[in-house]
Structure 1
């Protein structure tokens, strides 16, 4: 999708104060030494008991809104994205974020698209304000806190460690420090069973009192489908390549013509093979090394990573930034941004 008059006007992040290092996790017996070495994560941030995902998202949202300079009445929609438990069952966290971060009477929605939640929410928000002639701005937030007994951040999935944190982005039709040139999304629902597993229907959330076992679900499905692993990897690579090329073409560029690439905070093996190796990326054009101190923050890595990139003051006017997400389901989203100005807060 080629966008006209769509801008990033604000970014924000909230990262809890408590640090739990991977080295300490190994010493505590909650993380394997071999996994620690292979995955490359150095630490995670751990949210306090009174910092569930929506509370952190609201804090990030307030920062992004303040940086945007827009008023509450300018916001026509709030879209909140998440992966895990949001602090309460049968509840609408998007309205909490709206009330705490910006107020107003715009619509509020929730997006749950796994690790692609943040970018998927941004595309939903962009479509909302672009389709309404009188609409001005949208607030997009992400927020997750991965806590036992529901979620074991060190063991829930293979090659992934989950850190707590939140991000926020303000999209505007009036202007901003970066222009959204394009976005593209693509799904492949044939891969949906990978994270559902076999014989996996349950009667209620957390019905058996055991932590979420994403790795076990994958092993269950793959064990019953010969050649399933190779087929899944082939489909993932094909779809990611297609959505990336679509977004780049709609932005009138190619990967060589871009200066920055923001991807998820995945393990060293995944990143070095799936991003840096496959795409020929220079690690210095990413925030990958920084992300190893925070690990995978659900659907927020890309927005939080963009915030980090701009806070360092490295992007210059004219630079192009690619940010890419992938989430279970499966769905991929890629956005291409053009830097217009260096924001005052960078």
Structure 2
């Protein structure tokens, strides 16, 4: 869908101190084959005090402060996560709404795995356009991947999982970037690629060694074999939908992929990025914030706004540039947004 009066007024991110690949290998957590395959030099790893909700608050406050919007301007907060929110039987969005927006607006959670924050752009844009008198929406995302549920270094052969949070403020009033188009596509018939033939359970039990630590690659391999399509067939279907999503978003934005200055994708490892993104689209790694990706890792739904914040802080966002952000969520679902930079974002060092 093409947009005429939707802006990104602020972004923020908070990622903890990285653990280097050397440190992980020396500790027996990883191996040289994984490093060669992914090109990962480190991963952001949360400390004991870096909880999922608190990291989201840090990122959200930075985005709100950069946006210049008052708390009372916000009509909705949407939070995305791929994993655990810090506590069962509890609503993280009410916590974020209270801590970041002083209770203003509404709040809700978006569960589209690693595409949650991107698809929230579509949802928030529709909410803001639906006659509400509120002018802004806040999207937050946070994730933390730890044992016994996640082995960040081995959960999927093509990437390393990191921890952290990011956020963005959408505005109907103004911003440093204008949203030109947002497109979402899905292939729900591929949901078994992360389920295989595993049974549904009444509750999560991290001591169940048949399920934990989660091995996404083993589940996909089992599904690919059982379905008869093989891994190549799974990837072909995924690649086709990625290309459709990206090309449609570019067309609706009135631009060409070749004219987009910065391309932001999920923070996959080097080989996986080439196989699932760069190769199908015919683009080079140098057009992505690869160095940042290799230092932080794939942090669930936070990758896109985190990368945009990184580009802004590095002084790489200049007026007239176009930026494309694409999310890919398990299930599978894809969202691509094309934005035009109107002015360099103001750097905010502290949300306090």
TM-score, normalisation: structure 1: 0.95
Aligned to 2:220: 218
Shift in alpha-carbon separation, 1:276–1:233, aligned structure 2, 3 A: closer
Aligned to 2:176: 177
Task: Please say if 1:85 is aligned against 2:87.
Answer: no
Aligned to 2:242: 240
Aligned to 2:58: 59
Give the distance between the partners of 2:224 and 2:202, measured in 1 at CA. 24
Shift in alpha-carbon separation, 1:284–1:213, aligned structure 2, 3 A: closer
Please list the CA deviations of residues 20-60 of structure 1 after superposition, one character each: whole Å capped at 9, or x if unmatched: 11122112111122111111111111112222222101100
Please list the CA deviations of residues 131-168 of structure 1 after superposition, one character each: whole Å capped at 9, or x if unmatched: 23423000000101111122111122221210001000
Please list the CA deviations of residues 232-266 of structure 1 after superposition, one character each: whole Å capped at 9, or x if unmatched: 11211111111111111110111122111111110
My pick for the range that moved more, 91-100 or 139-148, is: 91-100
Give the distance between the partners of 1:299 and 1:238, measured in 2 at CA. 22
Aligned to 1:21: 20
Aligned to 2:334: 332
Task: Please say if 1:125 is aligned against 2:127.
Answer: no
Alignment partner for residue 271 of structure 1, among 270, 273, 284? Answer: 273
Give the distance between the partners of 1:64 and 1:105, measured in 2 at CA. 16
Aligned to 1:5: 5
**Coordinate RMSD, CA, aligned:** 1.5
5+ residue gaps, structure 2, are none
Give the distance between the partners of 2:160 and 2:237, measured in 1 at CA. 24
Aligned to 2:198: 199
Asked whether the equivalents of residues 53 and 142 of structure 2 are also in contact (C-alpha less than 8 Å), the reply is yes
TM-score, normalisation: structure 2: 0.94
Aligned to 1:283: 285
Shift of residue 207 of structure 1?
Answer: 5.4
Give the distance between the partners of 2:52 and 2:203, measured in 1 at CA. 21
Secondary structure of 1:176's match? Answer: coil
Aligned to 1:252: 254
Secondary structure of 2:107's match? Answer: strand
Asked whether the equivalents of residues 6 and 130 of structure 1 are also in contact (C-alpha less than 8 Å), the reply is no
Asked whether the equivalents of residues 318 and 340 of structure 1 are also in contact (C-alpha less than 8 Å), the reply is yes
Shift of residue 281 of structure 1?
Answer: 2.7
My pick for the range that moved more, 249-258 or 62-71, is: 249-258
Please list the CA deviations of residues 158-199 of structure 1 after superposition, one character each: whole Å capped at 9, or x if unmatched: 212100010000000000010000000001111010001113
Give the distance between the partners of 2:116 and 2:278, measured in 1 at CA. 22
